[in-house]
């Protein structure tokens, strides 16, 4: 499938057949080192994130005087923020408070509304990694968080979509984030306060979820905001999740 034939959203609406067709096709193979991976999905209708959803992260926020939410805290990242797994990430000229947030994300595969918790995982097409880059001063200027979460290039996803049938338990994986090779975040995804099933049931109470929608599950403890160790131009940020691969991005100055 190429950009000319169809979007990833259309591919996901008939995933089993499309996957079988792709596996049967005699397509040429290329070494990973010889290609530039783009975002595995660049046209979702929705790009949603949940705040303070790892218990350890909520605890560190509470120590800084930020109350732990009493319910799921959702925000929108504009889809124009999406970037590929090795793309450069821009440090905005209007702020020096650029932060990282390594996250497990998933892609909806079935159009759904009012999903029961026990049916929720069957709505997922696959999993990927997200770095939910956040401009903290812009984020806290608005209770919706949207502007501080939506600068161009600040929604890195990839390196590919690992289909749900290839992930035994997405909520028992090791997530690690490094800045210039130094580990900053490390957690198992089982530290989620609101599990993926809870997220889908909650969101689909409000809105119809569509194939291709990207939903991120929150970030562990260790964000830069804790000690004000903001990202700078030249920094390299890598996020890896076992079984899903890794993404790695260099921070560049705004032009």
pLDDT tens by residue, 188-202: 999 999 999 999 999
Rounded to 5°, the CA angle 190-68-237 comes to: 55
Task: Quick: pLDDT tens for 95-136.
Answer: 999 999 999 999 999 999 999 999 999 999 999 999 999 999
Tens of pLDDT along 76-97? 999 999 999 999 999 999 999 9
Q: Decide: 50 and 73 in contact? Cβ < 8 Å.
A: yes
pLDDT above 90 for 13: no
Q: Quick one: average pLDDT of 162-183?
A: 97
Instruction: Tell me what the mean pLDDT of segment 43-66 comes to.
Output: 92
Q: Is the pLDDT of residue 69 over 70?
A: yes
**Of 43, 123, 37, 151, residue with least CA distance to 86:** 37
Taking the C-alpha atoms of residue 77 and residue 182, their distance in angstroms, rounded to an integer, is 27
Rg of the chain's alpha carbons, rounded to an integer? 18
Whether the bond into 154 is cis, omega within 30 of 0: no
Helix (H, G, I), strand (E, B) or coil at 125: strand
Looking at 126-224, list the stretches that DSSP marks H as alpha helix, in order from N- to C-terminal side.
Answer: 136-139, 146-149, 196-206
Q: Are 131 and 251 contacting, i.e. CB atoms less than 8 angstroms apart?
A: no
Model pTM?
A: 0.93
- Average pLDDT for residues 127-151, to the nearest whole number? 95
% of the chain beyond a pLDDT of 70: 97
Report pLDDT for 3.
Answer: 43
Average pLDDT over residues 157-165: 96
Helix/strand/coil for 200:
helix
pLDDT at 6: 60
Compute the Cα dihedral for 41, 77, 126, 251 and give only its sign: positive
Residue 2 has pLDDT above 50, yes or no: no
Q: Is the torsion defined by CA of 12, 18, 20, 23 positive or negative? A: negative
> Residue 250: its pLDDT value, please?
98
pLDDT score for 19: 73
């Amino acid at each position: 499938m190429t950009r000319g034939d169809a979007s990833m959203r259309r591919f996901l609406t008939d995933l089993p057949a499309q996957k079988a067709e792709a596996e049967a096709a005699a397509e040429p193979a290329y070494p990973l080192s010889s290609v530039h991976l783009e975002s595995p999905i660049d046209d979702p209708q929705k790009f949603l994130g949940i705040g303070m959803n790892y218990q350890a992260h909520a605890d560190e926020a509470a120590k800084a005087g930020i109350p732990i939410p009493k319910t799921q805290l959702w925000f929108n990242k504009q889809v124009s923020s999406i970037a590929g797994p090795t793309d450069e990430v821009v440090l905005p000229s209007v702020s020096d408070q650029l932060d990282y947030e390594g996250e497990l994300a998933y892609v909806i595969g079935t159009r759904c509304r009012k999903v029961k918790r026990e049916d929720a995982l069957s709505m997922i097409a696959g999993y990927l990694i997200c770095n939910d880059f956040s401009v903290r001063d812009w984020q806290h200027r608005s209770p919706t968080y949207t502007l501080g979460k939506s600068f161009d290039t600040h929604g890195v996803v990839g390196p590919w979509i690992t289909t749900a049938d290839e992930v035994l338990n997405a909520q028992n994986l090791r997530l690690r984030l490094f800045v210039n090779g130094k580990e900053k975040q490390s957690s198992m995804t089982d530290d989620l306060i609101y599990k993926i099933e809870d997220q889908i049931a909650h969101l689909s109470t409000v809105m119809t979820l569509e194939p291709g929608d990207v939903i991120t599950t929150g970030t562990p403890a260790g964000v830069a905001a804790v000690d004000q160790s903001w990202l700078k131009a030249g920094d390299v940020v890598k996020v890896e999740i076992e079984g899903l691969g890794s993404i790695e991005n260099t921070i560049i100055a705004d032009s």
